[in-house]
């Protein structure tokens, strides 16, 4: 099985869906002639032309609104945000329109749009370019949110997102674009709402998503080699719909849980998962659920200080040791 980058996996998914369905178009800032701010769309303009790969002005509310309108007429637009931090400019379109149209039309009008782009910190681009809004978006009914952590997941989830008849918001991580992993050459999709156990374990469950998956796997390796603790790593892959069954079954097996998230702790995704565990697996817990989040402040610009703000494997190891 060939190894390709996370960036290439997303591009392959876009290309395959453009070829499979004539209604799929790519729209966004610098996606065409510049080949994408992070080169995810590199070469697609030459292959598919300006009717399928469309540059948009720097006006997120404008071009996201245009994509939502087009999706209501049968187009399947994939909209690229240069950073997810810029999504707030288009919040009214993304929340009030994309998320509500199907409800408000009594199920008569679908909005099959994908909005994708880089999120998360770690690249020293400052407070206004490092947001992780998956918890905010997942709070809104009608919207689906996925956070792929590997090239395999990125391709399979992107293809499912494009084929979905509801708005799907795909949070990629800037730090993951260069990561490589095995991806099949043959066709495959990954259903939205299905978590993946990235590492089997018996002593503690570590729940994570996006870039925190790598942190959790590193922590699990340390726990095994230095402390003889077997940690099970559950990658959510999809925030909404959420695979509650995989989380609960893992906690029932290990009786302990540590939740890892590159986001601030207040009202984070992990807060919802902590509630889920205490509500559906309370009798199986041998210790309180623990959380590892970012420091509760805007992202730090300094290359020396930003890593200290993000979740680290050492933080996860400490939380696990505290409940063993």
Catalytic residues: 60, 129
Give the DSSP letter string of 264-324. -STT-HHHHHHHHHHHHSGGG-SS--EEE---SSSPP--TTTHHHHS--HHHHHHHHHHH-
Q: Give the count of beta carbons closer than 10 Å to the beta carbon of residue 54.
A: 19
Answer yes or no: are the C-beta atoms of 136 and 164 closer than 8 Å: no
**Tokens standing for residue 280:** 């559906």
DSSP 227-253: H---EEEEE--EEES--HHHHHHHHHH
Stated as kind and residue range, the H or E segment containing 225 is: helix 212-227
Whether the CB-CB separation of 109 and 165 falls below 8 Å is answered with no
3-state helix, strand, coil in the chain (%, to 5): 40, 20, 40
- Given a contact cutoff of 8 angstroms between Cβ atoms, the answer to whether 114 and 78 are in contact is yes
Closest by CA position to 174, among listed 128, 122, 212: 122
CA–chain centroid gap for 164, Å, is 16
**Rounded to an integer, what distance in angstroms lies between the CA atom of residue 4 and that of residue 148?**
15
Tokens of 201: 């374990």
Paired residues of 3 in beta bridges: 182
Work out whether strand 204-208 and strand 196-199 pair parallel, antiparallel, or are unpaired: unpaired
SS3 209: coil
Q: Would you say 16 and 189 are in contact if contact means Cβ atoms under 8 Å apart?
A: no
């Amino acid at each position: 099985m060939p190894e390709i980058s996370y960036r290439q996996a997303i591009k392959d998914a876009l290309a395959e869906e453009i070829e499979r369905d004539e209604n799929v178009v790519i729209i966004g800032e610098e996606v065409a002639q510049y080949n994408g701010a992070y080169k995810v769309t590199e070469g697609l303009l030459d292959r598919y032309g300006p009717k399928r790969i469309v540059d948009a002005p720097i006006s997120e509310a404008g071009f996201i609104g245009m994509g939502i309108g087009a999706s209501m007429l049968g187009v399947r637009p994939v909209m690229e945000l240069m950073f997810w931090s810029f999504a707030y400019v288009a919040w009214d379109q993304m929340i009030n329109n994309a998320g509500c149209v199907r409800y408000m039309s009594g199920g008569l009008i679908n909005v099959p749009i994908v909005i994708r782009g880089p999120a998360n910190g770690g690249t020293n681009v400052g407070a206004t370019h490092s947001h992780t809004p998956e918890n905010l978006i997942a709070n809104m009914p009608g919207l689906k949110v996925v956070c792929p952590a590997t090239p395999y997941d990125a391709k399979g989830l992107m293809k499912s997102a494009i084929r979905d008849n509801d708005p799907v918001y795909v949070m990629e991580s800037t730090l993951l674009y260069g990561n490589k992993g095995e991806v099949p050459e043959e066709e495959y999709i990954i259903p939205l709402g299905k978590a993946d156990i990235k590492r089997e374990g018996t002593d503690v469950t570590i729940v994570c998503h996006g870039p925190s998956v790598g942190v959790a796997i590193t922590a699990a390796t340390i726990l095994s080699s230095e402390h003889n603790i077997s940690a099970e790593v559950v990658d959510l892959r999809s925030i909404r719909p959420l695979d509650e069954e995989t989380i609960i079954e893992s906690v029932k097996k290990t009786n302990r849980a540590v939740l890892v998230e590159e986001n601030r702790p207040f009202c984070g995704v992990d807060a919802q998962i902590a509630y889920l565990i205490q509500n559906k697996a309370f009798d199986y817990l041998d210790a309180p659920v623990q959380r590892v989040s970012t420091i509760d402040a805007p992202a730090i610009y300094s290359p020396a200080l930003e890593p200290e703000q993000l979740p680290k494997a050492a933080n996860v190891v400490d939380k696990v040791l505290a409940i063993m």
